[in-house]
A and B are shown apart, each in its own frame.
Chain A
Amino acid sequence: MTDAAPSVMLAELDRAILAAHADRDGVRLARLYGEAAARLEAGGDIQAACFFRTQAYIFALEQGAPEAAAHAAALKRHGRL
């Protein structure tokens, strides 16, 4: 994987997130922000990962989605909650 690939993936995710915002689709937003958080965390960018995981957490909370608890636990581990 080249240095350009992660930014391309994130750019695609970014477009998908904006589309989900335009559609006011909370289920997609929770999933997509969660994906972005996971990728950034895997890449070692914890601060950005926690930002996106916060977004994922909130949309999951709003939807009553079970992954809200996992997001909360991850944020707590990083001292963000």
Chain B
Amino acid sequence: MDQRIMDEDLASVLRPVETANGLPNRHYLDSDWFETEKERVFFDNWAAIGFAKDVPENGDARPLTFLGQPLVIIRGRDGRLRVFQNICRHRGMILIRQAGPIRGAIRCPYHSWCYDLDGALKATPHVGGPDHNTHAAIDRDALGLIEVRSHVWRDVVFVNVSGDAPPFEQAHAKVIERWRDFDGPLHHAGADSGFALEVATNWKLAVENYCESYHLPWVHPGLNSYSRLEDHYHIEEPGLFSGQGTLVYRQLKGEDGETFADTPDLDQRWDTSAEYIALYPNVLLGVHRDHSFAIVLEPVDVDRTIEHIEIYYHTPESAGPQRAALREKNTALWKTVFEEDIFVVEGMQQGRNAIRFDGGRFSPAMDGPTHLFHQWVATQLAR
């Protein structure tokens, strides 16, 4: 990447919100920038790749591709979740193609090298010649699966591909502390509590839109009757996360007035408050007294993103059969809200083709959280 272009691109983004421009068009259109972001924004930080609930049992494995990296999430026999590069150390063959339980060892389909679920290389058949299964030059202890640093928080699986980010609990101490009240178990009810949306937009636009409440009256008018713009507040933690909170959260009620159970021992300030945070780079989170959600943004291409949305409840009963109808209603409501955002993020993506667009400007009163995200991306690219 031409350093001159990089400097020009980022200088105006790094100005204060009053005078800053947003990231220039090419950051949403050029595959070169998409490639640069892979390393500096995603691999160098803690990025989300999926959900722990997708490997619920010991022995479960789930392969995935993250920005071209073949990875596999495995829950070991010890219950511990690990992420590995999904390749054999022999010739780089992809090991696991389908999600599911691993009964014994992971066997490479090419030459049948076998690995334990903790990554240890267990067997190298015929490596020393037919029916000779060892060779002095092949040190099994040095050829285990390549583990990728991972961490699970709020059921989201984060990875640090570069291996040199600070520990997750240190890097994200502020958001962990902010939402300490919601540290309890999260209960996922299965198919009725998750969905995915494929959106023709750059992943950053999904984050930018989520950060701000400015668009709510126009794009989510259903909120206007009970959650006005003035009932929202900014959440701004430079370099880490930003988003919005509401002071007027109302619990969803079923036909008989039933609600989801509250988080046990919750401070009463959460009775009518809820918060929505974009944890940089690619996780969008929401917490309420009785449920929470996580959205993992999967950047498929420079102009295509899959939003993986999962909803969690804070007591086993809320995730149980008695609340199935209410969960369906809740999932449908959130799906409607997130679908309402599709036309704006796709519209902004299309707008990035306008050659005279300068990245736009920010309302100092209303766009602070969004500007912080632009600044963070710019600082990652400028390192």
Residues of A within 8 A of B134 (CB): 81
- Give Cα A53 to B122, complex, Å: 16
- Give Cα A48 to B130, complex, Å: 9
A47, A58, A63: the one within 8 Å of B123 (CB):
A58
- Give Cα A12 to B73, complex, Å: 41
- Give Cα A65 to B265, complex, Å: 47
Residues of A within 8 A of B107 (CB): 58-59, 61-62
Q: Is the CB of B114 within 8 A of A54?
A: no
**Does A75 make an interface contact (CB < 8 A)?**
yes
Within the complex, what minimum Cβ distance (angstroms) separates A77 from chain B? 13
Q: Is the CB of B131 within 8 A of A50?
A: yes
**Does B103 make an interface contact (CB < 8 A)?**
yes
A47, A61, A64: the one within 8 Å of B131 (CB):
A47
Q: Is the CB of B131 within 8 A of A58?
A: no
From 129 to 167 in chain B, residues with beta carbon under 8 angstroms from any chain A beta carbon are: 130-134
Within the complex, what minimum Cβ distance (angstroms) separates B179 from chain A? 39
Q: Which residue of A lies closest to B59 (CB)?
A: A64
> Residues 90-121 of chain B: 1 if any A CB is under 8 Å from the residue's CB, otherwise 0?
00000000000001111100001010000000
- Give Cα A12 to B198, complex, Å: 52
From 56 to 110 in chain B, residues with beta carbon under 8 angstroms from any chain A beta carbon are: 103-107
Residues of A within 8 A of B123 (CB): 57-58, 61
**Does A36 make an interface contact (CB < 8 A)?**
no
Residues of B within 8 A of A64 (CB): 103-105
B105, B106, B112, B133: the one within 8 Å of A80 (CB):
B133
**Does B126 make an interface contact (CB < 8 A)?**
yes
**Does B24 make an interface contact (CB < 8 A)?**
no
- Give Cα A48 to B106, complex, Å: 25
A48, A50, A54, A62: the one within 8 Å of B105 (CB):
A62
Q: Is the interface of A mostly helix, strand, loop or mixed?
A: helix
> Residues 336-369 of chain B: 1 if any A CB is under 8 Å from the residue's CB, otherwise 0?
0000000000000000000000000000000000
Residues of A within 8 A of B133 (CB): 54, 75, 80-81
A-B contact count (CB 8 A): 47
Q: Which residue of A lies closest to B132 (CB)?
A: A80
**Does B286 make an interface contact (CB < 8 A)?**
no
Q: Is the CB of A58 within 8 A of B130?
A: no
Q: Is the CB of B104 within 8 A of A68?
A: yes
- Give Cα A63 to B133, complex, Å: 19
Residues of B within 8 A of A58 (CB): 107, 112, 114, 123, 125
Q: Is the CB of B114 within 8 A of A62?
A: yes
Within the complex, what minimum Cβ distance (angstroms) separates A13 from chain B? 17
Residues of A within 8 A of B122 (CB): 61
Q: Which residue of B lies closest to A55 (CB)?
A: B125
Within the complex, what minimum Cβ distance (angstroms) separates B78 from chain A? 15
Within the complex, what minimum Cβ distance (angstroms) separates B375 from chain A? 50
From 29 to 54 in chain A, residues with beta carbon under 8 angstroms from any chain B beta carbon are: 47-48, 50-51, 53-54
Q: Is the CB of B103 within 8 A of A54?
A: no
Residues of B within 8 A of A59 (CB): 107
Known: A58-B123, A61-B122. A80 touches B131 (CB 8 A): yes
- Give Cα A55 to B112, complex, Å: 9
Residues of B within 8 A of A53 (CB): 131
Residues of B within 8 A of A63 (CB): 103-104
Q: Is the CB of A62 within 8 A of B131?
A: no
Q: Is the CB of A54 within 8 A of B104?
A: no
Q: Which residue of B lies closest to A75 (CB)?
A: B133
- Give Cα A54 to B104, complex, Å: 16
Known: A54-B125, A55-B125. A61 touches B104 (CB 8 A): yes
Can you identify 26 A-B contacts, CB atoms within 8 angstroms?
Answer: A50-B131, A51-B126, A51-B130, A53-B131, A54-B125, A55-B125, A58-B107, A58-B112, A58-B114, A58-B123, A58-B125, A60-B104, A61-B104, A61-B105, A61-B114, A62-B103, A62-B106, A62-B107, A62-B114, A64-B103, A64-B104, A64-B105, A75-B133, A80-B131, A80-B132, A81-B133
Query: B residues engaging A (CB < 8 A)?
Result: 103-107, 112, 114, 122-123, 125-126, 130-134
5 other A-B residue contacts (CB within 8 Å) besides A55-B125, A61-B114, A62-B114: A47-B130, A48-B131, A54-B125, A60-B104, A61-B122
Please list the 6 inter-chain residue pairs (A to B) with the smallest Cβ-Cβ separation, ordered nearest first: A64-B104, A50-B131, A51-B131, A62-B107, A64-B103, A61-B105
